[in-house]
Structure 1
Amino acid sequence: MAGGVQHNKMAMDPAFVKLGNMQTNRHVYFRWTPRTARITFMYAVVVPTIMGIIAYKTDGLWDLRAKRKGDLLVER
C-alpha cells in the first residue's frame, strides 16, 4: 500500500517543459538590444526618479496618524 508506487504521475506537457527550460536558461539567451536597454533604463532610472520626486513633493504634507472622522488630512 505505501510502497514506491506513484499514484499521481501525470504526463508532461511539452509546452510547459519548453517554458520551464526557457525560464531557467533565460540568462543564457539574453541580448542587449535597444529595446531591452530602454526598458532597463526606464526601470532603473526613470521610475525611481519619479517616485523620489513625488516623495519629496509630498513629504510632511499629510498626517495620517490619529485621524478621526471629520478631520482633515492636510496640515496647515
Structure 2
Amino acid sequence: MAGLEHHKVLMDPAFVRLNNMQVNRYKYFRWTPRTGLLTTLYVFVIPGIVGYIGWKWDGAFDLRAKRRGDLIAER
C-alpha cells in the first residue's frame, strides 16, 4: 500500500508545457502599452465605475419584507 506507484499514466507533453509556462510566467512578463492599459482598466476604471454605481444607487431599493403590490423603489 505505501510503496505503490500511482502515476501509471504518461503525462501529456502539452499539459506539461502549459504547466511550465504558467509557473514561469512572471519571468517573461513585460510592460507594454497594452498591458499597461489593461492593468489601468482592471485596477482603476472598472472598480471605479462599479463603486460609483453602488454609491449612486445606495439605499434606492429596500428589498426586505416586500409584499405583493408594494413598490420596490423608495425614491
TM-score range normalised by the length of the shorter chain: 0.7 to 0.9
How many residue pairs align between the two structures?
A: 75
Ranges in structure 1 where 5+ consecutive residues have no aligned partner = none
What is the Cα deviation at residue 46 of structure 1? 0.4
Residue type of the alignment partner of 1:37: G
Give TM-score, length-normalised by structure 2.
Answer: 0.87
SS in 1 for 2:71: coil
Give TM-score, length-normalised by structure 1.
Answer: 0.86
| Structure-to-structure mapping, 1:61-72, within 5 angstroms | 61-72=60-71
| Structure-to-structure mapping, 1:18-29, within 5 angstroms | 18-29=17-28
Q: Indicate the residue corresponding to 1:6 in structure 2.
A: 5
Q: Compute the RMSD of aligned alpha carbons.
A: 1.5
| Structure-to-structure mapping, 1:39-54, within 5 angstroms | 39-54=38-53
